[in-house]
Amino acid sequence: MGRRRDGRPELLPIDGLRHRRRRGRPRRCRHEGRTSAATTTPPAGHIPNATDCNDTNPAVFNVYYHDADGDGYGNAGESICAGATPPAGYVVKNTDCDDTLPAVHPLAPDAQCDGLRRQLQRPPSTKSSWTTTSTCGVGACASTGFAHCAVGAFSDTCIAGAPGTETCNGIDDNCDGTVDNAAAPTGTPARGAVADLRAARRRCRGRA
């Protein structure tokens, strides 16, 4: 314990140290001005958000947007306030720039492989890539591969097979789109060949 200039005893803080106080500025605690979320309670009738689109009806509280083309992205200019489930024809997202084309939306792939997404709101320089199974050829020439698009460049690994001679086997051997259309033999048939040819044709058509 010390003494003031007027002779009265000076009372020190609990730690026994003198703390210099600046004139003209109030003393502040280190934690002053801070709040704890655990101890903060909204006043009665209030909540910590402002997302209710109709605060007069407890049954409706979410905003949904009209999705005319059914691509999962709605028109920001056409909305409705409803409950927990969007009404038919409405969705949660509102980022469709052309609600008349289902191929145009923010996640539309570069189907034409021109380096552009079909979303008109995106800049023309937006690139995308994709890979899908591809098919080529018909009949015995049919084959599969992979079509790949990367940064506007398209490639396809599918190579059609080579056509063969058409025979009566239920397969399009010459790959012209028609099964068992072998050409008729030319020249004069030998004795009994006509009957054999007719019998072969009946067998080819499934008639014994």
pLDDT in tens, 146-197: 988 776 677 889 999 999 999 888 899 999 999 888 776 666 666 556 666 6
β-sheet bridge partners, residue 148: 131, 155
Return the higher-pLDDT residue of 41 and 104: 41
Q: Are residues 186 and 170 in the same domain?
A: yes
Q: Are residues 95 and 115 in the same domain?
A: no
Q: Are the beta carbons of 121 and 97 closer than 8 angstroms? A: yes
Q: Look up residue 48 and give its amino acid.
A: P
Buried b (16+ CB within 10 A) or exposed e, 132-144: eeeebbebbbeee
Q: In what side-by-side order are the strands of the sheet with 129-136? A: 129-136, 143-150, 153-156
Q: Are residues 95 and 130 in the same domain?
A: no
Selection from 70, 68, 65, 117 nearest residue 95 by Cα: 65
Residue 35 lies in a domain: no
Q: Are the beta carbons of 67 and 97 closer than 8 angstroms? A: no
Q: Are residues 97 and 122 in the same domain?
A: no
Q: Are residues 146 and 191 in the same domain?
A: no
Q: Are residues 143 and 181 in the same domain?
A: no
Reported as a single tens digit per residue, the pLDDT across 2-51 is 556 666 666 655 555 555 555 555 454 444 444 444 457 888 888 888 88
Provide the mean pLDDT of the chain. 75
Q: For residue 42, what are its two tokens?
A: 């909204």
pLDDT of residue 193: 62
Selection from 171, 164, 165, 173 nearest residue 204 by Cα: 171
Residue 32 lies in a domain: no
Domain count along the chain: 3
Residue 46 lies in a domain: no
Q: Which residue segment(s) compose the domain that 143 sits in?
A: 109-161
Q: In the 8-state DSSP scheme, what is residue 197?
A: H
pTM of the model: 0.40
Q: Are residues 95 and 78 in the same domain?
A: yes
Residue 144 lies in a domain: yes
Q: How far is CA 45 from CA 12, 41, 49, 51, in A?
A: 47, 11, 12, 15
Residue 184 lies in a domain: yes
Q: Are residues 171 and 206 in the same domain?
A: yes
Buried b (16+ CB within 10 A) or exposed e, 93-128: bbebbbbeebebbbebebeebebbbbbeeeeeeeeb
Residue at a domain's end among 88, 108, 128: 108
Q: Where are the beta strands (DSSP E) in 87-206?
A: 90-91, 129-136, 143-150, 153-156
Residue 40 lies in a domain: no
Q: Are residues 89 and 127 in the same domain?
A: no
Q: Are residues 157 and 167 in the same domain?
A: no
Residue 45 lies in a domain: no
Give yes or no for residue 95 having a pLDDT over 60: yes
Residue 200 lies in a domain: yes
Return the higher-pLDDT residue of 130 and 205: 130
pLDDT of residue 126: 46
pLDDT of residue 150: 72
Q: Are residues 182 and 140 in the same domain?
A: no
